[in-house]
Amino acid sequence: MPVATESIMINALTIDVEDYFQVSAFAPVIARSSWERMPCRVERNIDRILALLDERQIHATFFTLGWIAERYPAMTKRIVDNGHELASHGYAHHRVTELDQKQFQNDIAHSKKLLEDIGSVAVIGYRAPSFSINDQNLWALDCLEAAGYQYSSSIYPVIHDHYGMPEAPRFAFHPSQSGRLLELPVTTVRMLGRNFPVGGGGYFRFWPYFLSRWFLQTVNQNDQQSAIFYFHPWEIDPDQPRVKGIGFKTRFRHYVNLGRMEDRLRLLTQQFAWGRMDHIFLKDTA
């Protein structure tokens, strides 16, 4: 479901609004009960992101944790006031795989109402923490539809040790017969018989920039599809506190090239056209 303006493909720029200590990989060493005592850095990082987007005249989608919005309502309102889409990332970054159906229903309903009350806008989009909807919990998509969400961006069609549903469609699809909920998978490139993750995050920090650019150009030009790119506020923050007690793989994934991320984002926003998820994929909301 690509969108082009004057032959320029518009891609979706998305930000998963969570702080550095809330990432799923740190859950074994940072308990949720300790979050209140952690030094938060999300507000300063969001303000830097808002300034960058304003400079480039780009509107994006901010998948925001209810826990963050509750503590930083003024920041949440700034996101909306700057013309960006406010969407849900759940309340406290529980992976869907950690919740039963009732717990998930409560989580998505609570976070939706909370964000709508703070932002004074309708919240129609959802992204599962750590892309944790897969072939074992597709009931979650029915729950999202019933809760009033119009789209989800929760499936990553890749092979990964923490998430992934490699057999899922690579591009937008309706997972149920009703056709009311649209699933928008994070972008991949098909090569050598498999899907390669190129939608952002640690992959964007790890790949050389020219390779990420080529991947996105391939999706726009060869697949004729809008790409969906994501990153986190903590990824532009190389001075964030270092978490102790984590393994080498987790440490590498989280901290690799943090110091280069902001410059790469500036290049990305200069070399591609970007917009909000709802404006690109749900024309009635544009």
pLDDT in tens, 202-229: 889 998 999 999 999 999 999 999 999 9
pTM comes to 0.94
User: Which stretches of 151-257 are DSSP H helices?
Assistant: 201-206, 209-221, 248-255
Whether the predicted pLDDT of 4 surpasses 90: no
Overall average pLDDT of the 3-7 stretch: 41
Q: Which domains does the chain have, with CATH numbers?
A: 4-285 (3.20.20.370)
d(CA 93, CA 244): 20
What is the C-alpha to C-alpha distance for residues 23 and 92, in angstroms, rounded to an integer? 10
State how far Cα 98 lies from the chain centre: 19
- Degrees to nearest 5, angle at CA 220 with 198 and 285: 95
Q: Within 13 Å and on the Cβ side, how many CA atoms surround 123? A: 29
Q: In 6-130, where do the E strands start and end? A: 8-17, 61-64, 85-88, 125-126
User: Percent of the chain at pLDDT above 90?
Assistant: 83
CA dihedral 50, 217, 197, 84 (to 10 degrees): 20
Could you give the CA distance from residue 15 to residue 87 in angstroms, rounded to a whole number?
10
